[in-house]
Structure 1
């Protein structure tokens, strides 16, 4: 392999595929290498949350992903507490249940259509970097690029090549997985419960196969111990009241779940994303979603750097922003898991009563839903910034400079900043043409909001200034979008 792309992405899971598609769409040459030679029918991730669907909407692939799965409008925690998602402030008030490989199929199709080079059956073996670029070594030759991204999972070759530690610990051991047929499928799309005996979970693949996860509180075995279908059946029956007649297993495995976080997401010209940077418990279904949002944060920043207009420090902000989110998700999902699997009957009673009371309080219910769905995730703002800075921007109706009525997330499909204004300011962002689009909100009382390509607020003001002379606005555009081209 002798090509020299701008970016080499190592790892063809959701994080790597989204990143490759984003970069190619932005006109950045990108080569992705993945050691798997073909589509794997195995998956650990099933949940696509609302914030991820919004991110897909900004790439015009949300409906394609939704068509692969089933919508669930409420989540059950600890078998007795329900979190309602149907009132979330989003176009996607549900969690989509679909196997990870369906998401990968859509992302791979998008990446190829945009011009990314996807090379499967290629194993990365190491890398070196210098002042001018990165050399990624593979079993089929070297790749030279200006930047590299390791999205190659928990056993990341890229992370190891950088010499970065991956501190943490196992939080639950001897978790059993099985892909099976069911004689009597459950009525609900998702089934989960935790009791004195352990934990069990059932989710559909959508093609007649089901994933069953089971954990026996009283029997912990090493990961390399073989798994018997009867063992999983027994745990499911005790925890769920039935094993749904599971049979014909096509895959059985045993694993342990870790909590780990890399000390930094950037090392020179190399970045880490997804499980290469953070792993955590499966509670809340955060893994794939967090990984995808890592890539959504990084892609536009890399593109800005490679196109030559990135402000100073923009690439460093990837580590600052996403590592804080990674730490929060590790902590939050770990708390959920420990609460679900607590071995103390009195503590479970307190948990269930307190959780039921909290879930009955409207604001608490909304906060729980926004946390699980990813809508509550934001980035730290600086002193003196508007309260909206760093927060997710909800979809709103807008009118483009050309007079077209549309939605904000449709406008974000161009991959550029969007300046929202309640007034008509034609030509305002012309000095940043190709980086910023100007749109008018239907709400004419709106001030000014500069929206990042990843759908978060870069800068905002409630004022309705004489914007062509407004120094604060110009400073914000320079700080986020670089020096004007004219």
Structure 2
């Protein structure tokens, strides 16, 4: 029996497959398309997604194909209302990436292949039934049908998900429908290409996303088109002339489409042994470029849990925490993108009020920084999650359990070369940073964590560095994570703080692993195991 079947080989399914493989499984991934898409589709990768993709080992390929974006701007009436620079964000990747989805998928597929996972194309999910021990799935190709039994199914098969229908659930929300024109074109513009721009207009919100070279993605909210009508380059130019200040001249169409968006979400993300992620679980307006990013973060948050359960290292109840953490995030994205889309269509006095509020807020540095961090998805947090916790002393102004794990500069390896927490997360499993020189405590922590991840001692001086230690001469770990001189912090594979203990207490860690994560007794790591 296969451990996990991933249905859908878009960015969400590929992230899930890569992370499952990185955490020790060999998932099977299928997609009904005979060939990968050549359409640009979703183009914006936010900093939080870049952190995740870096840990996955896929970011370098994507970055090489992308344009780095240093700011996001909202404009109306020919002037900027808000300009949000990204350079000051608390991340190793203080920029967005504009890159066609086809390039993102190609990079993820290449990484999956390195991890031993190949997409089976031309194969779709045609039905499933499940029981307490597994899922029976019917897979259908152009000329064949196969019945397989798997342990778990990840549904990453999009807004019209057959898997979602097969488990008897549906999107619930407001289905009045919004229509957009998406235009992937070559264009000339005098607007600098280092900024994503949203244009608020009485006709509807519009967006300009610079891609590499002369290529841009244009997005326009429009009235419902007549049945059977397709967008033209002439329509795109007319919309750009009216809504983008006459500063964009299009001259080659690569991909033009009308796109209807609903706002909805499934009531729960887990259905027994079937887990929903991405558009299979939530759909919303493309305003803000949150959709693909939210879906990939769903996949990253699910995969480490599912790997533990499928490997027999944790009880299945751990998977309930996936819904507890990610469904509120999806609901918040729906609320925010709906509000942004509606605000972009205001007219008259309401539009004037919107412009005044945005302009005033844009002059307050603290508000600009907060808005940029939220857009970058760096403020997503799970402080009330059932699988995060702490023990011992609490430290004010430190990264708390459930929060995004900061990646401060200033750490060194034993040879004196710079190293970052993001680099350490390239290793499979959890990362346990420990501020203690007590060999007995370190041995106990390694025995407690076992094969669930890596224990990394953090020392202040190179002379104190034991095997596998990092050197922290300026106490950036102590100040950032509140460990002091004797604490520990457990960073989850998805880049969030899972547990802290001050002082470092092996018994407290064992209790967290057993009670919160439903993890069985520790197993000894495989000697010489390393990140792939």
Show the counterpart of 1:93: 94
Show the counterpart of 2:521: 483
Is 1:357–2:360 an aligned residue pair? yes
Is the alpha carbon distance of 1:244 and 1:365 closer, same or farther for their aligned partners in structure 2, counting shifts above 3 Å? closer
Question: How many pairs were matched up?
Answer: 476
User: Equivalents in 1 of 2:359, 2:339: separation in Å?
Assistant: 17
Taking structure 2 as the reference length, the TM-score comes to 0.83
Show the counterpart of 2:461: none
Q: Check whether the contact 1:13–1:104 (CA below 8 A) recurs between aligned residues.
A: yes
Is the alpha carbon distance of 1:213 and 1:30 closer, same or farther for their aligned partners in structure 2, counting shifts above 3 Å? same
Show the counterpart of 2:466: none
- 1:270-419 map, 5 Å: 270-311=274-315, 313-342=317-346, 344-381=347-384, 385=390, 388-396=400-408, 398=411, 406-419=419-432
Is 1:28–2:22 an aligned residue pair? no
Q: Check whether the contact 2:72–2:197 (CA below 8 A) recurs between aligned residues.
A: no
Show the counterpart of 2:173: 168
SS of the counterpart of 1:374? coil
For structure 1, list consecutive stretches of 5 or more residues without a partner in the other structure. Answer: none
User: Equivalents in 2 of 1:242, 1:143: separation in Å?
Assistant: 56
Q: Check whether the contact 2:202–2:344 (CA below 8 A) recurs between aligned residues.
A: no
CA deviations over 1:453-486 (Å, ceiling 9, x no partner): 111111113x335x35xx4333224333542347
- 1:71-470 map, 5 Å: 71-79=68-76, 80-140=81-141, 141-170=146-175, 173-183=178-188, 186-189=191-194, 190-206=196-212, 208-216=214-222, 219-222=223-226, 224-242=228-246, 244-311=248-315, 313-342=317-346, 344-381=347-384, 385=390, 388-396=400-408, 398=411, 406-425=419-438, 426-431=442-447, 432-441=449-458, 442=472, 443=475, 445=484, 447-461=487-501, 463-464=502-503, 467=505
CA deviations over 1:90-131 (Å, ceiling 9, x no partner): 111111111111111111111111111310111222211122
Is the alpha carbon distance of 1:405 and 1:207 closer, same or farther for their aligned partners in structure 2, counting shifts above 3 Å? closer
Is the alpha carbon distance of 1:36 and 1:394 closer, same or farther for their aligned partners in structure 2, counting shifts above 3 Å? same
SS of the counterpart of 2:422? helix
SS of the counterpart of 2:426? helix
User: Equivalents in 2 of 1:235, 1:162: separation in Å?
Assistant: 42
Show the counterpart of 1:13: 10
Bigger CA drift: 102-111 or 244-253? Answer: 244-253
CA deviations over 1:349-395 (Å, ceiling 9, x no partner): 11121112222222222211111001000113269856711111011
Is the alpha carbon distance of 1:337 and 1:197 closer, same or farther for their aligned partners in structure 2, counting shifts above 3 Å? closer
Is the alpha carbon distance of 1:173 and 1:243 closer, same or farther for their aligned partners in structure 2, counting shifts above 3 Å? farther
Is the alpha carbon distance of 1:150 and 1:440 closer, same or farther for their aligned partners in structure 2, counting shifts above 3 Å? same
Show the counterpart of 1:46: 43
CA deviations over 1:375-421 (Å, ceiling 9, x no partner): 00011326985671111101145567999963212211122111222
User: Equivalents in 2 of 1:263, 1:77: separation in Å?
Assistant: 33
SS of the counterpart of 2:318? coil
User: Equivalents in 2 of 1:405, 1:186: separation in Å?
Assistant: 37
Taking structure 1 as the reference length, the TM-score comes to 0.91
User: Equivalents in 2 of 1:35, 1:62: separation in Å?
Assistant: 26
Is the alpha carbon distance of 1:183 and 1:417 closer, same or farther for their aligned partners in structure 2, counting shifts above 3 Å? closer
CA positional deviation for 1:244: 2.9
User: Equivalents in 1 of 2:445, 2:344: separation in Å?
Assistant: 51
Q: Check whether the contact 1:134–1:269 (CA below 8 A) recurs between aligned residues.
A: yes
- Cα RMSD over matched residues? 2.5
User: Equivalents in 2 of 1:247, 1:404: separation in Å?
Assistant: 49
SS of the counterpart of 1:310? coil
CA positional deviation for 1:70: 1.1
User: Equivalents in 2 of 1:435, 1:403: separation in Å?
Assistant: 28
Q: Check whether the contact 1:311–1:478 (CA below 8 A) recurs between aligned residues.
A: no
SS of the counterpart of 1:136? strand
User: Equivalents in 2 of 1:121, 1:208: separation in Å?
Assistant: 33
Is 1:473–2:478 an aligned residue pair? no
SS of the counterpart of 1:255? strand
For structure 2, list consecutive stretches of 5 or more residues without a partner in the other structure. Answer: 459-471, 479-483, 525-532
